Structure 1
């Protein structure tokens, strides 16, 4: 399954780059992630629980960042094993382009599954992979963008918006 997309993020390129390398940002952005340890240099260990169709599994795996060109591009690759449910692996090539005060983040994602998950059929798997990628990049955008004027109220819904951006400014 291949997926291509882009997002215009209302944050400077340095903030977006730093967010891509931060394990706390990644943990908050990966849907179903309960643990993320490690570093951008040595790689991350992650635990992710997801339900795909009728199959619910907890995947334990590794995530590596490679081909890093600071403030320009990197490749994220990961592989996880979900016991009897099977395995999932994939990667994303991410490119950043500054446009004034914003950053355009473009991505190409490739995902593969095996085991029980592969038996669900390509339509379910492709839809799930697209949903996961879209949700990750939407969560990432929300984490690194500074809160807007309308978001300043300290409600439950807006407390998390721009949390990484706020840390960088502190």
Structure 2
């Protein structure tokens, strides 16, 4: 399942880049992120609660920065599992484009693969949950830059 979207941040591209290169700062904006553990500068583990309609599923995840093109693009792979619900894999590509001096467009694509009960919940339900969560993340990031 692929999800493409974009949002604008009222900040310089350099500042947005620095934010996306700091997994601990990103974790503060991820809805449901309870913990993050840095393994190395490019790898981290996290615990994330995801609300899917009438239930909350806790995932243990591992993220890894696969590629970084300075101030232009990052590619991150995240793998997660939840006891009894299955696994997911997400390859996230983020492109940054300076619109104006203090405005940056964040264009992203998620390529998500689900197994187990997650897959059986249905593409429409899961896509809706993932889209809602990514929109909340974008709002949190925008708010963070608004007050910094």
Q: TM-score, normalised by structure 2?
A: 0.90
Are the structure 2 counterparts of residues 40 and 101 from structure 1 closer, same or farther at C-alpha, using a change threshold of 3 Å? Answer: farther
Aligned partners of 1:93 and 1:108 also within 8 Å:
yes
**Aligned mates of 2:4, 2:141 — CA distance in 1:** 16
Larger relative contact order, structure 1 or 2 (CA cutoff 8 Å, min sep 6): 2
Query: What residue in structure 1 maps to residue 67 of structure 2?
Result: 67
Find out whether 1:12 has 2:18 as its counterpart: no
Structure 1 unmatched ranges of 5 or more: 148-161, 163-170
Find out whether 1:105 has 2:106 as its counterpart: yes
Query: What residue in structure 2 maps to residue 57 of structure 1?
Result: 57
Deviation at 1:17, TM superposition (A): 0.7
**Aligned mates of 2:20, 2:139 — CA distance in 1:** 13
Aligned partners of 2:51 and 2:129 also within 8 Å:
no
Deviation at 1:39, TM superposition (A): 6.3
Deviation at 1:54, TM superposition (A): 4.2
Aligned pair count reads 147
Q: TM-score, normalised by structure 1?
A: 0.79
Alignment of 1:1-170 (within 5 A): 1-38=1-38, 41-98=41-98, 99-143=100-144, 145-147=145-147, 162=148
Give the SS at the match of 1:84. coil
**Aligned mates of 2:105, 2:81 — CA distance in 1:** 32
Give the CA RMSD over aligned residues. 1.7
